[in-house]
Amino acid sequence: MAERRIVAVGDLHGDMESALSVLRMAGVIHQNNSWAGGNHTILVQTGDLIDRGPDTVQLLNLFPRLVQEANKAGGRVIQILGNHEFMNMLGDLSFVRERSSEFASRQSRKIAFSPSGDIGRRLFNLPIMHQIGDTVFTHGGILPAWASSIVHRVNAYATQHLMAYFAGALEELPAVFGPDGPTWYRGYALGAEKTICSVLQSALNAMGAKRMVVGHTMQDNGRILSRCDKRFFVIDVGISKAMLGYQAALEILPNGSVRGIYPSGVQELSESVDTDIDDKRPTAANSGERKRKSGE
């Protein structure tokens, strides 16, 4: 099979309408919300589907369906665990929309997100990082300490130790879920490039990767952030209307070209070779430059 395009979408934060809009804009779902990527597309969602907006359950149901539809067509959908999923799994509902009618009570929500709950049973098995070819995806950022092992081993370690913590076999959460773990780390997005780019390169070298793609750190201008000579991309642009209401997706073509997809068109984010792929994309109605409604 020919190499496939990769589409990555950042934090969606409980806004089903905006999520569907950006997925249509990127050409991965049809107008009826079914999989449109055929066997030539891999969709990666880098975490934080939930909280802030009212559509937690709808979004958590959407992605497993797209996984099944993509698998049948020969494509793939990867959902990565974000810190907001993780907080809900721990029973921390600090960013939950109080008026959400999807759960009977806050206690019922906690039960649903527990290891034995309807939602938790799936979330506890989601990866915290994923690698496709020379690109690694995570929610916050992967430091060399977590890059020195094979990616699937880190995911297995995280799942095993998180379950052990909930079973009472561990007194403290594993460090992989701490502030310097892949779901929380912001250093690559916020630190001085003269300091953090060498650290990033060490992590990429350990994983045999050329670039890292994350969400987590919202970009107030609604544009994908490129750092460290196009080796690090931040794709959280505040897609949810509970945040900024911008629209953006990252696209990596088989030739290695990295592009941003926006309602206004496509922007090259890295050097590319000649390609016959049409730059035109369906235009979605932009939500405009809404004022930020709540902090990240």
* Position with higher pLDDT, 276 vs 143: 143
pLDDT band, very low/low/confident/very high, at 252 (cuts 50, 70, 90):
very high
Describe the crossing of helices 56-73 and 16-25 by its angle, rounded to 10 degrees: 30
CA atoms of 273 and 255, how far apart (whole Å)? 7
Q: What's the chain look like in SS3?
A: CCCCEEEEECCCCCCHHHHHHHHHHCCCECCCCCECCCCCEEEEECCCCCCCCCCHHHHHHHHHHHHHHHHHHCCEEEECCCHHHHHHHCCCCCCCCCCCCCCCCHHHHHHHCCCCCCCHHHHCCCCCEEEECCEEEECCCCCHHHHCCCHHHHHHHHHHHHHHHHCCCCCCCCHHHCCCCCCCCCHHHHCCHHHHHHHHHHHHHHHCCCEEEECCCCCCCCCCEEECCCCEEECCCCCCCCCCCCCCEEEECCCCCEEEEECCEEEECCCCCCCCCCCCCCCCCCCCCCCCCCCC
Mean pLDDT, residues 241-264? 96
Mean pLDDT, residues 175-194? 96
User: With 50 as the cut, is the pLDDT of residue 28 above it?
Assistant: yes
Mean pLDDT, residues 163-173? 89
From 83, 63, 166, select the one nearest 117 (Cα to Cα). 166
Mean pLDDT, residues 236-253? 97
Residue 192 neighbours by CB under 8 Å, 6+ apart: none
From 170, 164, 109, 137, select the one nearest 250 (Cα to Cα). 137
CA atoms of 247 and 289, how far apart (whole Å)? 10
Give the domains, in start order, of the chain with CATH numbers.
5-268 (3.60.21.10)
* Position with higher pLDDT, 272 vs 92: 92
* Position with higher pLDDT, 295 vs 61: 61
Predicted local confidence at residue 296, as pLDDT: 45
User: With 80 as the cut, is the pLDDT of residue 109 above it?
Assistant: yes
User: With 90 as the cut, is the pLDDT of residue 68 above it?
Assistant: yes
Average pLDDT of the chain to the nearest whole number? 89
pLDDT tens for residues 74-102?
999 999 999 999 999 998 998 887 666 78
Predicted local confidence at residue 174, as pLDDT: 87
Predicted local confidence at residue 287, as pLDDT: 35
Predicted local confidence at residue 288, as pLDDT: 33
CB-count exposure of residue 201 (10 Å: 0-12, 13-18, 19+): middle
Count CB atoms within 10 A of the CB of residue 107.
Answer: 11
User: With 50 as the cut, is the pLDDT of residue 115 above it?
Assistant: yes
From 261, 215, 245, 214, select the one nearest 53 (Cα to Cα). 245
Q: Please say whether the beta carbons of 231 and 197 come within 8 A.
A: yes
Predicted local confidence at residue 60, as pLDDT: 96
Predicted local confidence at residue 98, as pLDDT: 61
Percent of the chain with pLDDT over 90: 78
User: With 60 as the cut, is the pLDDT of residue 289 above it?
Assistant: no
pLDDT band, very low/low/confident/very high, at 16 (cuts 50, 70, 90):
very high
Q: Please say whether the beta carbons of 8 and 44 come within 8 A.
A: yes
Mean pLDDT, residues 178-185? 96
Predicted local confidence at residue 24, as pLDDT: 98
